[in-house]
Chain A
Amino acid sequence: GENVEQHPSTLSVQEGDSAVIKCTYSDSASNYFPWYKQELGKGPQLIIDIRSNVGEKKDQRIAVTLNKTAKHFSLHITETQPEDSAVYFCAASLGVNTGNQFYFGTGTSLTVIP
């Protein structure tokens, strides 16, 4: 089955700096890669996603890049703010081939220092 690895597990940045979180996946058939933000005691919130036919996607301060050849994708947050502090999870999906199941990374705890 699919295996997703996520790094780093913790990340601290100064407010205003950029943060980058990286994930790798093992199954080249994976075709959908969402990123979720989870605040303490809450459910994950979808913040951005990318499909395998796209190399990059941007939404204001958040961007995701995908390298299918290397089988890795990254989340980029620019101009970080204290409210960006949360745990971020990446995931990979093979779509209908596996019942649309998501394979999650282990999470990155991001702290933005004011």
Chain B
Amino acid sequence: GAVVSQHPSRVICKSGTSVKIECRSLDFQATTMFWYRQFPKQSLMLMATSNEGSKATYEQGVEKDKFLINHASLTLSTLTVTSAHPEDSSFYICSARRDRGLEQYFGPGTRLTVT
């Protein structure tokens, strides 16, 4: 149990376009989902926390208008990178947490390349 999927696994887009990444909890209901960004050989950087049915909480320095997060159901959260630029190229990973659970289960990640 506790499987989290992400789609797509890889995406290449042109500068100025928007990209949507989906995060799904496949076999449990996730009251909270987290979005992370990871640069090569570095740790995970929390971007935002989203709770089902409410607005996401963004970490300091993360532009909420650029990284739109929607957590519309207990099994799906989406991250939309708007007007992407090459500096947005990175590995984006989501995680999900059950209600009253401490564990976070991570998705396989999405490699975004902006040309």
Interface residues of A (CB under 8 A from B): 32, 34, 36, 41-46, 49, 51, 89, 93, 95, 99-102, 104-107, 109
Contacts and interface: CB of A to CB of B under 8 A. Distances in A.
B106 A44 contact: yes
A43 B6 CA distance: 10
The 7 closest A-B pairs by CB, nearest first: A43-B106, A32-B102, A43-B108, A43-B109, A44-B106, A104-B43, A106-B43
Interface of B: 4, 6, 32, 34, 41-44, 46, 49, 57, 93, 97, 102-109, 111
Contacts of A43: 4, 6, 93, 106-109
Given A43-B93, A43-B109, A101-B49, 9 more contacts: A43-B6, A43-B106, A46-B105, A49-B102, A89-B43, A95-B102, A101-B34, A102-B46, A107-B42
Contacts of B44: 44, 89, 104
Contacts of B104: 34, 46, 100, 102
Nearest to B104: A102
Contacts of A100: 32, 97, 102, 104
A41 B93 CA distance: 11
A78 B102 CA distance: 26
Nearest to B101: A100
8 contacts: A34-B102, A34-B103, A34-B104, A43-B6, A44-B106, A99-B49, A102-B34, A107-B41
Nearest to B49: A99
A46 B34 CA distance: 15
A99 B49 CA distance: 8
Contacts of B109: 41-43
Given A36-B106, A93-B102, A99-B49, A44 B93 contact: yes
A106 B39 CA distance: 12
Contact of B43 (A46, A49, A99, A107): A107
